[in-house]
Amino acid sequence: MSGYFITGTDTGVGKTIVTLAVMELLKHRGFEVAGMKPVASGCDSSAAGLRNSDAGQIMQACSSNLPYLQVNPYAFEPAIAPHIAAARSGETIRIKEIVSACRDLEDISDRVVVEGVGGWEVPLGNEAMLPDLARRLKLPVILVVGLRLGCINHALLTASAIRATGLEFGGWIANQLQPRMEAVDEIINTLRERIDAPLLGVFPWCEEPKPGEMTGYLKEFPE
């Protein structure tokens, strides 16, 4: 499978804007691109069923018109950990079904960009964890580091956990989450020295980031 698995140091660090920016960049390079957010919590009720706004943006960014459920097969209403949301809904998140859906996307596209849920060590069920899904997909992992207090610890721990899986660590992207933050350059340099993967880009603070504009910050993204 050809594409990327986007994960983060935590929830709310900008995985979706990075996913969308990567999709736009790949489309600019001439690839047919499909995106997927396999599991989403915090969904809204609609006439068509539960819908997640981030998954909706990913669906709109795909090169082809795809049905919502192909982009987001597991949608849960409460904005809580996915395995808890699934248990409350009486559902089981099945990695095999997600992998099969991703293979279908691979058949109609050149690149598939998959956004994870929450951080890296997130349970998907009683036994399954998010890294189990990443292993099955066998995609290079890109880590989104949300720049905020405590991010050095979170980033280094997550980077070590990704390396421990044996998956290809494709690189990391720094995303400034606050309009003002002290020592941003020093923090980025600290992480650059200690994360054994390339820094692919630095997203500045932006109140309403637009994927097409953010692609310009992916200066080191591989061809």
Query: Which of 15, 37, 96, 138 does the annotation list as catalytic?
Result: 37
Instruction: Return the SS3 of 173.
Output: strand
Question: Strands across the sheet with 33-36, in order?
Answer: 33-36, 111-115, 3-8, 141-147, 169-176, 199-203
Instruction: Name the pairing type of β-strands 141-147 and 169-176.
Output: parallel
CA distances (Å), origin 44, targets 40, 90, 114, 178: 11, 18, 21, 27
User: What's the rounded Cα separation, in Å, for the pair 30 and 25?
Assistant: 9
List the structure tokens of 178: 């606050």
Does residue 37 carry a catalytic annotation?
yes
Q: Is-contact 122 13, C-beta < 8 A?
A: no
8 A C-beta contact, residue 76 and residue 41: yes
DSSP 80: S
CB 38 within 8 A of CB 59: no
Strand ranges inside 65-110, DSSP E = 74-75
Helix (H, G, I), strand (E, B) or coil at 169: strand
Residues known to be catalytic = 37
